[in-house]
Amino acid sequence: MLRPNGATERRFRGRILGAGTTSGVRIVVGMWDRSPFGSFTDVFLELADGSSVLLAPDEIVAAYVSGTYRFDTVSVVDVRARRTARGLELDAGPLQATIDVGGISPLGRVLRIVPKPIARDPRWLALIDPVARLVSPGSGTAGSAGNGRREYYGVTGAHDVTAVSGTWAGEPLGTLAPLDPPVAFGFASMPRVPQVVDVETTIREPAV
């Protein structure tokens, strides 16, 4: 979408899952039903030593995402996310994980108060960003991204993540833990309590 000032606006609608593990690996999974690049899943990780990894399904997604967020390593791998009765089965190169998802979280109940068209509006998201950062330290709804881009997270629903198991590079992930410390790929992290959220991400790129 081209805005009147010449800036480009790209929208991604789907779900983001964030969870920590007792091994120290923190996982953020983006499952995008609608995007400028079609439907895809990508994975952000922060490892126990603090290094960050992007697992992307193709070179185009890898280039765009790594131009928006910060990573130490970018890998193009076959990323497969399969919904199950209990949650999600994830197979992404060196990462294999089974993630259980429970009922609507306390955050999800609060989000129901705001009508979805308002909750996705960048003007609203810029207004409430200070409140979001106060309520959930490390998180946010509006901020700066790479290459002069501006990003907005419009969250409309949330469910608890209740369990995680699997391996990273052949080593056990351990069990579920808070997403703590907050991940630092961009201007904001997911909440500390492991959750999967329904979201529309809007990225505005400067005019060229």
Write out pLDDT tens, residues 20-43.
999 999 999 999 999 999 999 999
Long-range contacts formed by 27-34: CB under 8 A, 24+ apart: 27/95, 27/97, 27/164, 28/183, 28/185, 28/190, 29/81, 29/88, 29/90, 29/99, 31/81
Which of 189 and 100 is assigned the larger pLDDT?
100
pLDDT for the residue 168: 98
- pLDDT tier for residue 5 given thresholds of 50, 70 and 90: low
Is 90 exceeded by the pLDDT of residue 160? Answer: yes
Please check whether residue 158 is in contact with residue 104, taking contact to mean a CB–CB distance below 8 angstroms.
Answer: yes
Is 50 exceeded by the pLDDT of residue 2? Answer: no
Whether omega for the bond prior to residue 181 falls within 30 degrees of 0, making it cis, is yes
What distances in angstroms separate CA 29 from CA 7, 56, 80, 121, one per listed residue?
28, 11, 11, 23
Is 90 exceeded by the pLDDT of residue 169? Answer: yes
Per the prediction, the chain carries an average pLDDT of: 92
- pLDDT tier for residue 4 given thresholds of 50, 70 and 90: very low
pLDDT for the residue 1: 55
Percent of the residues in the chain that have a pLDDT greater than 70, as a whole number: 96
pLDDT for the residue 119: 93
161 DSSP β-pair partners: 101
pTM for the structure as a whole: 0.92
Distance CA 75, CA 57 (A): 9
Report how far apart the first and last C-alpha atoms of the chain are (Å, whole number): 14
pLDDT tens, position by position, 109-132:
988 999 999 999 999 999 999 988
Is 90 exceeded by the pLDDT of residue 136? Answer: no
| Cα 94 from chain centroid (whole Å) | 19
Is 90 exceeded by the pLDDT of residue 135? Answer: no
CB atoms under 10 Å from CB of 11, counted, come to 15
Which residue reads 């983006």 in tokens? 30
Q: Beta strand pairing status for 171-172 and 79-83?
A: unpaired
